[in-house]
Structure 1
Amino acid sequence: MRLRIIGCTLLLAGLLQPAWAQEQLFKTLKVEAGTPARVAVHINLKPDCTPGPLAEIKVRQMPAKGTLLLRRGKANLKQGKCQGSTPAQALFYMARAGYTGPDKIEYEVTTNAVHRVITIAIDVGKATTTSDRPDEMEL
Structure 2
Amino acid sequence: MRRHLHLPAALLLVAVLAGCGSDPEPAAAPPTSVPAATSAAPSPSADERAGCRAVGNLGATDLDPATNRAAGELAMQSSDANIKQAGVDLIAAANDALAEPGPAANLAIAEAQLDVANACGAAYGDGPW
User: What TM-score do the two structures reach when normalised by structure 2?
Assistant: 0.27
Higher strand content, 1 or 2: 1
User: What TM-score do the two structures reach when normalised by structure 1?
Assistant: 0.26
Higher helix content, 1 or 2: 2
The structure with the largest alpha-carbon Rg is 1
